[in-house]
Amino acid sequence: MTLTHERPPAVLWNTADGKQEFPIVRIFCVGRNYAAHAKEMGKDPDRDPPFFFTKFPESYVPSGDSIAYPPGTNNYHFEAELVVALSGGGKDIPVSDAHQHIAGYGVGLDMTRRDLQLTAREQGRPWDTGKNFERSAPLGALHLVSETGILNSGSIRLMVNGKVKQQADLRDLIWSVDEIISHLSQLYELRAGDIIMTGTPAGVGPVDPGDKILVEIDQLTDLEILVEKPE
Ligand code: MN
């Protein structure tokens, strides 16, 4: 047989000024990183070491797009998150150096098939089918750190059809962005093109076809997504 498929195009995340594109190479995500969310998921919000999971870069969706309700779930959840883009990396990055590797920030959604995630969790199985699936990583525009400065605080808020569902402050993160980068660099050799979804505050919940999700973080461009009927 002759193989006919082509290499997929690079996944490009647009900067807010529309002048540059950030090729997304890998998507890392932090589990439970706000105490109130850990509690609502039935877990102790202690400062246990952070844990990580991943999504395919191809799960990226730009703001303004619609997402069809995904297959295999009856409990499709939003999770509003600060997303950090890396301009460089390495191994064993000290917390005090971590900020040097930040290219910028965006507003993100860690869309989740909660029923599949919780079943996997109960059975000690991987989270992949609950977390890593097509169009599960919507992102608002990328803001370069040269424009925003380092973001250690600021409101993060999610609304569904105009009703506030999640509301917190970035200073409530259990593990700071610098600490997350440092931890992750002990497990992976980080590099330019990696992005990190930093965890979600309390208030996660389901969406249905027809729902409009709006996520806001101070200083960053809003992320808007419409949920549509299953394909
Ligand atoms: Mn999450």
Predicted confidence (pLDDT) per residue in 117-164, tens digit: 999 999 999 999 999 999 999 999 999 999 999 999 999 999 999 999
pLDDT of 46-68, one tens digit each? 778 899 999 999 999 999 999 99
**Averaged pLDDT, 9-23:** 97
pLDDT of residue 47: 73
pLDDT of residue 40: 86
CA 6 – ligand 1 centroid, Å: 32
CA 8 – ligand 1 centroid, Å: 26
Q: How far apart are CA 131 and CA 116, in angstroms?
A: 8
CA 108 – ligand 1 centroid, Å: 9
Q: Look-up: residue for tokens 């400065």?
A: 149
CA 184 – ligand 1 centroid, Å: 16
CA 112 – ligand 1 centroid, Å: 8
Residue 218: C-alpha distances to residues 42, 64, 143, 170 (Å): 29, 19, 12, 10
Q: How far apart are CA 46 and CA 48, in angstroms?
A: 6
Q: How far apart are CA 27 and CA 154, in angstroms?
A: 23
- Asked if residues 32 and 198 have their Cβ atoms less than 8 Å apart, the reply is no
Q: Could you tell me the two tokens for 11?
A: 């996944």
Q: How far apart are CA 42 and CA 45, in angstroms?
A: 9
List CB contacts of 108: < 8 A, sequence separation 6 or more: 80, 81, 82, 83, 137, 138, 139, 140, 197, 215, 223
Centroid of chain to Cα 81: 5
CA 156 – ligand 1 centroid, Å: 14
CA 229 – ligand 1 centroid, Å: 23
**Averaged pLDDT, 104-116:** 98
CA 52 – ligand 1 centroid, Å: 10
- Asked if residues 167 and 201 have their Cβ atoms less than 8 Å apart, the reply is yes
CA 35 – ligand 1 centroid, Å: 13
CA 206 – ligand 1 centroid, Å: 14
